[in-house]
Amino acid sequence: MGYVFATFQSLLATLRQGLATPSTVEYPKAKRPRAPRLRASFALTKDAQGDENCIGCKKCEKVCPSEVIAVVASKKPSPVTGKPRAYATDFTLNLQACIVCELCVQVCPTDAIVMVQEQEGPGFDRGDLVLTMEKLYRNGESKERLAWSSASVLGEHQKPAEAPAPAQRPAHAPVPVPAASAEPPGKEPAA
């Protein structure tokens, strides 16, 4: 007789789930808000004058555990200042094996590479998952950039908090007492 009751319980649970409102979202029509710390793809940045920030130092290439970044560097005159400086002539990032660890962003001395929240579009070829220099600069112009996604901002978060200066010590804080000497009073130190 117990199996009849269990059968009705399972039918009731199935009915409840069947009549409940769905929790899925039709993606192109409705978009859910993304988590504020989502890391989805990469972008290269330019400075205020429109000059490339990447100096071709290859730190991102060296730190990448997946070895998916390739940088080719050269020196040429800056179009803004006219002075010769280092540039990356080719920057390639392969998303097929990228583990999105953000180490390349953290080591960049010029904040040239950043993380963006928008993912890359779906691709029908493996070549679509290779981010070339042109794609990376397009991502920097068109996709939403994260607020903390540069090396300088991440470095500020990692600095230890400074101890308050002695003048700023609270009034209720105990005053340090000098350490007592090792010799008991009344005895002269041995020579």
* 92-132 confidence digits (pLDDT tens): 999 999 999 989 999 999 999 998 888 777 888 999 999 99
Side by side, the strands of the sheet bearing 130-131 are 69-77, 84-94, 130-131
Domains of the chain, by residue range, sit at 44-157
Write down the mean pLDDT value for the chain: 83
pLDDT at 187: 58
Is the pTM higher than 0.85? no
Q: Residue 34's Cα: distance from chain center in Å?
A: 15
Between the two ends of the chain, the Cα-to-Cα distance in Å is 100
Question: Is it the case that residue 168 has pLDDT exceeding 80?
Answer: no
Residue 106 in tokens: 């953290």
CATH class of the structural domain 44-157:
alpha beta
pLDDT band, very low/low/confident/very high, at 42 (cuts 50, 70, 90): very high
pLDDT tens string 75-84 = 988 888 888 8
